[in-house]
Amino acid sequence: MSITKNAVTPSQKMAGGIAVPRMLQISALFVLFLASIPLGYLLLRAIASGFAAASAVLLREKTVSTLITTVGLAILVALFSAMIGISSAWLIQRTNLPSPGLFLVLGTLALAVPSYVSTYAWIALIPSFAGFAAAVFILSLTTAPYVLLAALASLRRIDATQEESARASGLTASQVARRVIWPQSRPAIFASLLLVMLYVLSDFGAVSLLRVDTFTRVVHTMYKATFDRSAAAVVALILVLLAAILIYVEYKARGSAVAAKSGLGSIRSATRIDLGFKKYLAASYLLIIAIASLGVPIYVLITRFVSVAAEINVSNLVSATIATVSAALSGALLAMLFAIPLGILAARYSGRLSRYAEFGILLTHALPGVVIGLALVALGSRLGFLYQSLPLLAFSYAVLFLAKAVGSIRTSIARVPRVYDDISRSLGNNNWQTIRKITIPIAAPGVITGFLLVLLTAMKELPATLMLRPTGFDTLAIEIWTQTSISQYGQAAPYALILVLVAATPTYLLSRPDRAQSSESRENMTL
């Protein structure tokens, strides 16, 4: 008996009655295999020294103190970023705040300032700026925009009719917020807080400059200080375990999304609350946040840039800019290529493979760049043609930022009505033809948004770039790190300023005021 091309084979998994295309399964599994290379390297290194040696590393006092510092930093940063992000989103979206579009742009542009550049600026301004509290301050400012964008996207999707009905039934304003607004906002906000905590776990530049011993700094020091890297791999596995716990807790805590709209028609925005004179206090609050996260770095960079203008090596500055853009473009394109099968799988085919893929992607996202860099150094040293090459550097970016790419593609494809898929199949197209001809073209704007987000993040990447860049291939991040590590803050300013300006372009495109009514770009930035 012959099998038609649309028939379901035993190897195909069923998702809601729709077979997962074999090619999609193979592509997704292949990408997951590539993304798991760094984790596999960690496991091999960790078991190389045996159980006794691993236990000794885990139980020593330094490991315990580092665990407390890392977990405490992640929790405090998540709390403060939630306070800043949620309050900012509420003021921008739900009140008569003066120039809300301006404050949205200012809040979003903070994403263009890498944590190590912000740290550099504050240290240049206040030389004694260092320690745990300083790290909480810097990382909270750096990550708050993720929560802001998630909360803002959620508020934009809530139909005012639901809130009006709740108030008409006798609920107070606080009860409406607790029973109507929060359940619908919770999934996106919890997802953004997960990324905030994963960001803290993997941050290297800020904690190194501030001399805070988190796992990323300790792992980097251990790798540089000793030839035996097994102990460092054991410590890095603690970081992976922390990430796995965070992912599980977030999955359980966020619950199921509540429909943001009932009935037919478009979503109607809620009436803005009149704050009266307090709107100027609210504007002052947002302005203080913008000054701390964006104003201080820009001020320090410009003043230091002017002070060393005569000493600037224009040729080095131009070559570092070109290197930054070329490496980031290569990595972003590769990340989107890898993310397409995983994003389609997550959006269209719920099942065991989809759940495992989501967990694996988020787990990989939590790995610090130094770990991924060292894993790929080990791989490149065995494959001479890849060692210290641009393709290997681009691959490291693709693995590091795969979660962001998959998030954007998943969100974009999930917004494509499934009825289009049904129509395509009724016309004789199989599942793969439907994906290629219908789903991806319609989702293209959101995919482009995800590409811009990955491009922005790749421009700022430091530890993986330090370890994998080709000889003489110095990006802006490398130049900044080289100068600040020897306290040459004035010489680092031109490179830091150009990096912020270059990174500001995709950031502005993601948040520009003329897209204020579209929540898709903001949601993509938090996934």
pLDDT value at 94 more than 50: yes
pLDDT value at 340 more than 90: no
Q: Give the pLDDT confidence score for residue 227 in this predicted structure.
A: 57
pLDDT value at 223 more than 80: no
Sign of CA pseudo-dihedral 231, 236, 239, 241:
negative
Sign of CA pseudo-dihedral 52, 54, 57, 63:
negative
Residues 6+ apart with CB under 8 A from 64: none
Q: Of the given ranges (191-195, 271-275, 295-299, 511-515), which has the lowest mean pLDDT?
A: 511-515
Tokens, residue 476: 């802006």
Alpha helices in 95-209 (DSSP H): 100-109, 115-125, 132-157, 160-168, 173-176, 182-202, 205-209
Q: Give the pLDDT confidence score for residue 468 in this predicted structure.
A: 86
Chain centre to alpha carbon of residue 367? 12
pLDDT value at 448 more than 50: yes
Position 411 in a domain: yes
Q: Give the pLDDT confidence score for residue 527 in this predicted structure.
A: 46
Distances in Å between the Cα of 470 and the Cα atoms of 2, 170, 392, 393, 465 are 53, 66, 9, 8, 9
d(CA 36, CA 438): 31
pLDDT value at 403 more than 50: yes
- Structural domain harbouring 434: 18-260+272-524
* Mean local confidence (pLDDT), 347-376: 76
CB 97 within 8 Å of CB 278: no
pLDDT band at 18 (very low <50, low <70, confident <90, very high): low
Give the number of domains in the chain: 1
Position 311 in a domain: yes
pLDDT value at 48 more than 60: yes
d(CA 404, CA 460): 15
- If you average pLDDT over each of 56-60, 319-323, 494-498, which comes out highest? 319-323
Question: DSSP E strands: which ranges in 211-256?
Answer: none
* Tokens 């997960």, residue located: 194
pLDDT band at 3 (very low <50, low <70, confident <90, very high): very low
Instruction: Please tell me what DSSP assigns to residue 14.
Output: E
Q: Of the given ranges (83-97, 189-203, 313-327, 362-376), which has the lowest mean pLDDT?
A: 362-376
d(CA 138, CA 447): 30
Position 8 in a domain: no
Position 265 in a domain: no
Question: Which residue in 184, 182, 146 sits closest to 527, CA to CA?
Answer: 146
pLDDT band at 226 (very low <50, low <70, confident <90, very high): low
Position 513 in a domain: yes
Q: Give the pLDDT confidence score for residue 20 in this predicted structure.
A: 67
Q: Give the pLDDT confidence score for residue 523 in this predicted structure.
A: 46
Position 136 in a domain: yes
Question: Which residue in 150, 155, 239, 251 sits closest to 527, CA to CA?
Answer: 150
pLDDT (tens digit per residue) in 427-444: 777 766 777 777 777 777
pLDDT value at 413 more than 90: no
pLDDT value at 270 more than 70: no
Question: Which residue in 23, 38, 120 sits closest to 365, CA to CA?
Answer: 38
CATH number, residue 215: 1.10.3720.10
CB 38 within 8 Å of CB 352: no
For 19, the enclosing helix (H) or strand (E) is: strand 18-19
Crossing angle for the helix pair 132-157 and 100-109, to the nearest 10 degrees: 130
Q: What percent of the chain stands above pLDDT 90?
A: 16
- If you average pLDDT over each of 156-165, 327-336, 396-405, which comes out highest? 327-336
Q: What pTM was computed for the model? A: 0.78
Position 13 in a domain: no
pLDDT band at 461 (very low <50, low <70, confident <90, very high): confident
